[in-house]
């Protein structure tokens, strides 16, 4: 468990988070698949039922264009995501027959249970599923047995079954182990052959064990998860069985301060469908409630209620200390803004927020405390103004600005006048590995969830970037013409080429258009992030596709080959490829010539590799040059003859043309 302790006077509350809590592998996989589909698909996207049992996540997915539906009979096009709980195979077949694209986000553990149930049915077993009859996962498993499986929820229901000669048992993946084992024991005592497949998800079992262990050592237990989540209900039931006061909530706003009165240690766990940002929000709110539930602060709150009239006044910062700020509000003495009242988000120093001379709005918290000081709050004054402005921005779908104050589990806390949460998945258009780079930076974002009564705001910077990118893309598409030379940034490398951003639009730079010379992979010439000039080869405005070329704006090595490689000249070359009819050699990067097999040697050559090898450097004679066809014919045989002839001529010149005994009998001497 991870302890989080805050102290207020003599009062302290320790918050412990279960070692296993929140998204399991299957749920996270389903969310990732859904978000990837939302990015890549251009048509309507639906999920067959809620993707997971968490209304907050489902609402967020709806903002990404993913609509949950219960029936696809009226849908004729688009993409259908199969939720993590899985469905009957008949539904998948029906969707495919309608021409819908299927994205199967079924949890791998659920899929395993489906396959086992199907196989057991085919082998003649009566399948018994241990689980909740109404749960979609269980209904899906039953569908894989052609509706022949029997569902039991507990040992007593198992005891009432007819006797079967062969029984195959599978479990709903979120079943508590003790219940599954008890059902199996009843079946083994009553039935003939019993084959047991323990399809309980290990992550679920570990989460339940962690929650049970934590509940035994805390004074109160908070379970976070969707009200319709079977996993969350089982966690709650397990914790309650320990006799520890246990409360199940969906969001932080459902926390009741009275739950924590006189509590020293509070435990926190979450169901498998609960995202990290909700857990973080609950944990943060528990810390805030801790201040309210401390005896000292209860007295302060009463005093605040009697003295605070909700008046907001302007003041000037006159001094900034390490843990408080003094503000001149025109009273007999300066007012004090404690560090915790400076911002809606946690800050380590007042210097991060204000400086001497700043004019700020403050809320009068106390006209006089025990020491006779005026207690003020900048955070509350900001909040009063901010909520109305933010609500209007949300209604009008306008962009808001804020300062990133903190990196938390699952995302960022942003000061927009009040505290807002920016999930990690909404920070940028792609995955961001290090969120700390945004701390203290001003960002622009859209509000994708707004609830003033619950003091909840969820932001999306990604939505702003996507709009800007789309606008930029449309401008580029409208203005770009074939033949244009534009600047671009390499965004992605693949085996077949590179994708280059030329202004909100990713164009394809095929590997054959990167360089005049042959390359095996784009990484030999390019790196992600490179800024390069490219030529527009083709524009498909309807499908928003652009083909690019880099080599066509580079010097063409074929432009002056006739001057560089004169016919009958001897030049150096490197063998780059062997083919049945000869060898291709490189004269320089981007310029290749062919040595026909008949020109490799002055004898019959069966295979080119009998004479040359790839990578070998050789002298060749230029037979012909055709720049337009980009063809150069070469000869190794003629080059060798020319070299030999030159050597003989040189030798004869040295001997003034006289014939020597060595010329006549040299071969005989060599043999001897």
**Cα distances (Å, whole numbers) of residue 373 to 207, 322, 334, 358:** 49, 18, 8, 21
Residues near 80 by beta carbon (within 8 Å), at least 6 away in sequence: 46, 47, 48, 72, 95, 100, 101, 102, 103
Tell me if 169 sits within 8 A of 183, measured CB to CB.
yes
599 burial class (0-12, 13-18, 19+ CB within 10 angstroms)? Answer: buried
HSE on the CB side for 285, CA within 13 Å? 23
How far is 89 from 99, CA to CA, in rounded Å?
16
How far is 632 from 479, CA to CA, in rounded Å?
41
Q: Is 468 among the catalytic positions?
A: no
How far is 217 from 553, CA to CA, in rounded Å?
71
How far is 399 from 448, CA to CA, in rounded Å?
11
Tell me if 248 sits within 8 A of 236, measured CB to CB.
yes
The tokens describing 664, both together, are: 């006549």
For 344-377, the DSSP string reads SS--S-GGGT--TT-EEEEEEEES--TTSPEEEE
Q: Residue 128: which of 180, 203, 87 has the closest Cα?
A: 180
- What residues does 570 pair with on adjacent strands? 621
| Catalytic pick among 14, 77, 134, 137 | 137
Collapsing DSSP to helix, strand or coil, 619 comes out as strand
Length of the chain: 672
- What residues does 328 pair with on adjacent strands? 316
How far is 537 from 531, CA to CA, in rounded Å?
18
Residue numbers annotated as active site: 137
């Amino acid at each position: 468990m991870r302890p989080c302790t805050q102290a207020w006077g003599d009062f302290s509350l320790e918050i412990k988070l279960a070692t296993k809590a929140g998204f399991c592998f299957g749920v996270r996989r389903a969310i990732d698949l859904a978000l990837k589909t939302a990015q890549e698909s251009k048509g309507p996207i639906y999920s067959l039922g809620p993707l997971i049992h968490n209304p907050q996540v489902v609402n967020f997915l709806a903002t990404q264009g993913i609509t949950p539906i219960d029936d696809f009979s009226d849908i004729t096009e688009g993409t259908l995501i199969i939720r993590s709980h899985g469905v009957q195979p008949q539904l998948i077949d029906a969707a495919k027959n309608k021409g819908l694209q299927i994205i199967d986000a079924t949890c791998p553990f659920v899929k395993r249970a489906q396959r086992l149930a199907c196989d057991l049915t085919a082998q003649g077993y009566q399948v018994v599923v241990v689980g909740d009859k109404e749960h979609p996962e269980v209904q899906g498993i039953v569908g894989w047995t052609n509706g022949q499986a029997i569902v039991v929820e507990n040992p007593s229901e198992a005891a009432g079954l007819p006797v079967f000669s062969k029984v195959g048992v599978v479990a709903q993946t979120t079943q508590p182990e003790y219940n599954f084992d008890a059902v199996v024991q009843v079946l083994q005592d009553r039935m003939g052959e019993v084959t047991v497949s323990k399809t309980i998800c290990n992550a679920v079992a570990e989460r339940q064990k962690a929650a049970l262990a934590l509940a035994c050592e805390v004074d109160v237990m908070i379970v976070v998860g969707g009200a319709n989540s079977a996993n969350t209900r089982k966690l709650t039931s397990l914790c309650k069985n320990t006799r520890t006061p246990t409360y199940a909530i969906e969001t932080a706003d459902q926390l009741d301060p009275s739950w924590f009165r006189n509590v020293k240690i509070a435990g926190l766990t979450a169901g498998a469908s609960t995202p990290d940002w909700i857990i973080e929000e609950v944990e943060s709110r528990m810390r805030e409630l801790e201040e309210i539930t401390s005896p000292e602060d209860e007295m302060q709150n009463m005093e605040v209620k009697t003295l605070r009239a909700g008046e907001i006044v302007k003041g000037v910062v006159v001094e900034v200390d390490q843990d408080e700020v003094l503000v001149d509000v025109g009273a007999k003495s300066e007012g004090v803004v404690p560090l915790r009242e400076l911002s809606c988000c946690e800050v380590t120093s007042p210097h991060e927020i204000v400086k001497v001379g700043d004019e700020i709005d403050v809320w009068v918290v106390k006209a006089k405390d025990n020491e006779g000081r005026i207690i003020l709050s900048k955070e509350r004054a900001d909040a009063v103004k901010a909520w109305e402005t933010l609500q209007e921005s949300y209604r009008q779908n306008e962009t808001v600005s804020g300062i990133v104050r903190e990196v938390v589990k699952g995302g960022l806390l942003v000061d927009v006048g009040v505290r807002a949460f920016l999930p990690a998945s909404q920070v940028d258009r792609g995955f961001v590995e290090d969120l700390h780079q945004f701390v203290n930076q001003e960002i622009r974002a859209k509000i994708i969830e707004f609830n003033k009564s619950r003091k909840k705001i969820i932001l999306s910077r990604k939505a702003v970037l996507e709009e800007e990118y789309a606008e930029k893309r449309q401008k580029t598409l409208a203005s770009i013409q074939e033949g244009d030379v534009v600047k671009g940034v390499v965004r992605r490398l693949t085996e077949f080429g590179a994708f280059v951003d030329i202004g909100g639009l990713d164009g394809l730079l095929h590997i054959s258009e990167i360089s005049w010379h042959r390359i095996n992979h784009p990484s030999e010439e390019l790196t992600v992030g490179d800024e390069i000039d490219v030529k527009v080869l083709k524009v498909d405005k309807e499908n928003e596709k652009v083909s690019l070329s880099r080599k066509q704006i580079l010097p063409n090595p074929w432009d002056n080959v006739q001057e560089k490689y004169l016919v009958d000249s001897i030049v150096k070359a490197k063998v780059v490829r062997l083919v049945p009819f000869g060898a291709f050699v490189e004269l320089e990067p981007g310029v290749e010539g062919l040595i026909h097999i008949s020109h490799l040697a002055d004898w019959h050559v069966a295979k080119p590799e009998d004479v040359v090898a790839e990578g070998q450097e050789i002298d060749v004679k230029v037979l012909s040059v055709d720049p337009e066809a980009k063809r150069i014919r070469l000869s190794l045989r003629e080059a060798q003859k020319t070299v030999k002839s030159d050597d003989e001529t040189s030798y004869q010149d040295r001997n003034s043309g006289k014939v020597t005994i060595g010329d006549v009998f040299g071969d005989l001497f060599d043999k001897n």
